[in-house]
Structure 1
Amino acid sequence: MSKSKRPRTALVTGASSGIGEAIAREYAKRGIGLVLVARRRERLEALASELGEHVRVAIIAEDLADAGAPGRIVEQLERDGLQVDILVNNAGYGVPGRFLSSDWKTHADFLQVMVGAVAELTHRLLPGMEARGHGGVLNVASVAGLVPGSAGHTMYGAVKSWMIRFSESLSLECAPRGVHVTALCPGFTYSEFHDVTGTRAQVSRMSPRMWLQADDVARAGIDALEAGEPMCIPGWRYRLIRQVAKHLPDGVARRIIGRRSKDFRDDS
């Protein structure tokens, strides 16, 4: 995206905390208007009050586990005359434990947030970007989508792998039309994520060197999108892990992940 076509407004899902909040803050620093989307209205209002001193900020309180939420979000944008130039699909979480330790409704809600809402919001907002000849989609995936699957949090790596492949394909389709698409693939990042999934005690035993700061991840992802890079892996350690995983025999990589998965996954 050239500076002459600098986007005016970014819509960020899951903007009330963690990487989503950090991305919103970074865009505000860069003078980009914001549409903040999350379930927790009070948090959105507090963040909007703070960032609204610098850029125009709108909030939309919606739960993306509701299949009707993407449509209502786009309808709200149209009613308010808001044009989205950057879509940040960040909302997400993990379902701890074995696949069969949770009921299907739990898994269905997870898939709606992590796959259904991502695909639908992208499908609804991309046409406007392509028509204007500029824009961007930043999909917050994970390095978990680039390494073999682990026991526990059974679908997390799978949906992140889908998000990466989805982003790669969209990048090829949209680049000729002036729209950049990037998959942001962070590793362990300081946020509320592990508190929500109940794995804080496990991951706290990991080396501090493996942890990333949310604001660093946000800057790296936004810079990669601006540069038209289809994938961004913040942190040299995680780029190294990805390269090692690519070159190890599949069976060896799976055994290593299998042995280490209890360090960061609840498989009970």
Structure 2
Amino acid sequence: MKRTILITGASSGLGEGMAREFAARGDNLALCARRTERLEALREELAGKYPQITISIRALDVNNHEQNFEVFRAFQEEFGTLDRIIVNAGIGKGQPLGTGAFNANRQTAETNFVAALAQMEAAMEIFREQNRGHLVTVSSVTAVRGMPGNVNTYAATKVGLAALSEGLRVELKKAKSPIKVTTLYPGYIRTAINEKVKNAPFIVDAQTGCKAMVKAIESGKSESFVPGWPWTPIGFLIRRLPVSVLAKLF
């Protein structure tokens, strides 16, 4: 049965890469982002390769909170149902606290957490109504501990997103709901958001990273580090290292 998958932030980076992977699997796509010209180019590319699938695009600024609800509903009405919604849109503008970059940190917090909350709310309204669906949230390996410097605020937002997702999983499990929630913890995957980062350990290209993300989503696991190697053992270790050791590493 052909599924319909909604991806936010689909005009570039991980969202764009996941769209390509799901298109190759024969899934219909509901793609949204601010830059509709890039979405149009992506739709044209994928439609040429996979004419058997339906690809719909809509403009979405996730920080326009009401627009999340409007766009998700419009996609549901168009396709009749939404099988999976991937909360992917995010930014990485953080700077060390107290260095005059409050606006950059605030924008990161609002986009990566408050706007993600709006997306999750919009998705869950639809899934509760359908009594089925798969919600996927894209956190980060940085969410396993507090991170210093430029990553501090970014990592904190990803901790919050992971906690929201886990709390929702517990709630749905208690209610014996068929709705599933998956949290991804990507390691370093080369995209525009980190193109200026130097010496990123174990970094992989976008295609490799997005293949690993889609594989993890399809596995049905509640939580996955991606790529699994080496980030699963690294995440395990980082969670347990004392602060004195973290200070030397980061």
Relative CO higher for 1 or 2, CA cutoff 8 Å, sep ≥ 6?
1
In the alignment, which residue of structure 1 is the partner of 2:244? 255
Superposed displacement of residue 136, structure 1: 0.6
What SS class does the counterpart of residue 190 from structure 2 fall into?
coil
Superposed displacement of residue 15, structure 1: 0.7
Report the residue type matching 1:246 in the other structure: R
Check if 1:71 corresponds to 2:69: yes
Check if 1:20 corresponds to 2:9: no
In the alignment, which residue of structure 1 is the partner of 2:59? 61
On the 8 A contact 2:89/2:112 being kept in 1, the answer is yes
State the alpha-carbon separation in 2 of the partners of residues 217 and 24 from structure 1. 13
Superposed displacement of residue 31, structure 1: 1.4
Report the count of equivalent residues: 244
In the alignment, which residue of structure 2 is the partner of 1:3? none
In the alignment, which residue of structure 2 is the partner of 1:205? 199
On the 8 A contact 1:65/1:109 being kept in 2, the answer is no
Report the residue type matching 2:17 in the other structure: A
Encode CA deviations 1:166-194: one digit per residue, 9 max, x unaligned: 22222233353212111110111111112
In the alignment, which residue of structure 1 is the partner of 2:130? 132
Superposed displacement of residue 75, structure 1: 4.8
In the alignment, which residue of structure 1 is the partner of 2:40? 45
State the alpha-carbon separation in 2 of the partners of residues 180 and 225 from structure 1. 11
What SS class does the counterpart of residue 99 from structure 1 fall into?
coil
Structure-2 change in CA distance of 1:153 and 1:214 (3 Å): same
What SS class does the counterpart of residue 120 from structure 2 fall into?
helix
Among 92, 102, 107, which residue is 2:90 paired with?
92
Superposed displacement of residue 217, structure 1: 3.1
Across the aligned residues of Structure 1 and Structure 2, the Cα RMSD in angstroms comes to 2.3
Structure-2 change in CA distance of 1:227 and 1:180 (3 Å): farther
Superposed displacement of residue 120, structure 1: 1.8
- Between 1:8-17 and 1:99-108, the stretch displaced more is 99-108
Encode CA deviations 1:107-146: one digit per residue, 9 max, x unaligned: 4432332122222222222233244343211111100001
Identity %: 27
In the alignment, which residue of structure 2 is the partner of 1:162? 160
Check if 1:222 corresponds to 2:214: yes
State the alpha-carbon separation in 2 of the partners of residues 168 and 64 from structure 1. 22
Structure-2 change in CA distance of 1:83 and 1:259 (3 Å): same
In the alignment, which residue of structure 1 is the partner of 2:142? 144
On the 8 A contact 2:96/2:148 being kept in 1, the answer is no
